[in-house]
A and B are shown apart, each in its own frame.
Chain A
Amino acid sequence: NAGVTQTPKFQVLKTGQSMTLQCAQDMNHEYMSWYRQDPGMGLRLIHYSVGAGITDQGEVPNGYNVSRSTTEDFPLRLLSAAPSQTSVYFCASRPRGSYNEQFFGPGTRLTVL
């Protein structure tokens, strides 16, 4: 199993550009999430999904869109990039159940100029 994969690993955007961060998992996990990591702030939840066709907002959803058309894929879209979205983005997946841990991808480092 490849686990959770993310592409690209690095990306530089100009303010106002849009892009999609890709996330895929091959473990048949129901739950998938997107986090951003900023210094001194830990991981903050952007959006999450409890299954195909079901998504919900997390703590910091503004400026981001998600969709979940399949169990495997959970892309994150930046509609109009802003410098405040410069961050490291992590995708995670987990099986259903509160006691189950999350499995994380390697991250995407995004810089918005």
Chain B
Amino acid sequence: AQSVTQLGSHVSVSEGALVLLRCNYSSSVPPYLFWYVQYPNQGLQLLLKYTSAATLVKGINGFEAEFKKSETSFHLTKPSAHMSDAAEYFCAVSDEPGNQFYFGTGTSLTVIP
């Protein structure tokens, strides 16, 4: 079965600093990878997804992620953190033929003013 590992259950950054949230996947075939964000007491919202069209994927709210096959990674970055970025972030991988999603355990991002 496929899986994703998110390193760091809690990440704190200062407002304006770089955001880096790590995700590594386990897959024997090119995966379909996703990043979701969850604001307090809400459902999950898609930030971006990798579907093999380009290794650098741009998402909403200034986030982007780079697919690195050699490192089996799909880390999420944002050049400058904003207070509104404080949330829980989940990395996920879809299997073939796409029946199931496998989620990481999540990373809680705190932005310090």
Contacts and interface: CB of A to CB of B under 8 A. Distances in A.
A104 B106 contact: no
B43 A48 contact: no
Interface in B62-113: 90, 94-101, 103-106
B44 A104 contact: yes
Nearest to B4: A42
Given A90-B44, A99-B32, A104-B45, A42 B90 contact: yes
B43 A102 contact: no
A100 B100 contact: no
Nearest to A41: B105
B98 A48 contact: no
A99 B104 contact: no
19 contacts: A31-B98, A40-B9, A42-B104, A42-B105, A45-B101, A48-B99, A90-B44, A97-B98, A98-B32, A98-B98, A99-B32, A101-B34, A102-B44, A102-B101, A104-B45, A105-B43, A107-B41, A107-B42, A107-B43
A113 to B, nearest CB: 21
Given A42-B90, A43-B90, A56 B99 contact: yes
B51 interface: yes
Contacts, number: 61
A54 to B, nearest CB: 10
B49 A99 contact: yes
Contacts of B44: 43, 90, 92, 102, 104
Contacts of B56: none
Interface residues of B, number: 25
Interface of A: 4, 31, 33, 35, 40-45, 48, 50, 56, 58, 90, 92, 94, 96-107
Contacts of B97: 98
A60 B74 CA distance: 27
B103 A43 contact: yes
A91 to B, nearest CB: 9
B18 interface: no
Contacts of A92: 44, 101
